[in-house]
């Protein structure tokens, strides 16, 4: 991550260098997320805000790029401000 908060793009050419860089940056941090962690702890672990955020009812979900080659994102769901689930989903919506 650069001093200005942007994430360094991938070193090689890719269609979306920013997305690739985010996935490389996020993947090892996502591995540290555990059920029951607070939103504050997840934000501190990830070191930046999510690429997408969704709120449905009492559930807030933060979505991060996690695997550029597989076009996958990881969704972290919170209930009452605590991690309740993590799931993988495609980064492109059909």
The full set of domain ranges for the chain reads 35-89
| pTM for this prediction | 0.84
Q: What does the pLDDT average to over 53-77?
A: 94
CATH T-level topology, domain 35-89: Beta-lactamase Inhibitory Protein; Chain:B, domain 1 (3.30.1450)
Sheet-wide strand order for 52-56: 52-56, 59-67, 72-79, 82-90
Instruction: Indicate if the alpha-carbon torsion angle 75, 53, 42, 45 is positive or negative.
Output: positive
Q: What does the pLDDT average to over 39-61?
A: 96
Give the model's pLDDT for residue 73: 95
Q: Report the alpha-carbon distance of residue 61 to residue 37 in Å, rounded.
A: 13
């Amino acid at each position: 991550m650069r001093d200005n908060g942007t994430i360094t793009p991938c070193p090689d050419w890719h269609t979306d260098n920013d997305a690739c860089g985010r996935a490389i940056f996020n993947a090892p941090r996502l591995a540290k997320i555990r059920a029951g962690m607070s939103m504050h702890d997840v934000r501190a672990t990830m070191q930046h805000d999510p690429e997408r955020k969704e709120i449905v009812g009492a559930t807030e979900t933060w979505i991060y790029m996690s695997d550029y080659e597989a076009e996958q994102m990881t969704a972290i769901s919170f209930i009452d401000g605590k991690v309740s689930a993590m799931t993988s989903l495609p980064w492109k919506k059909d």
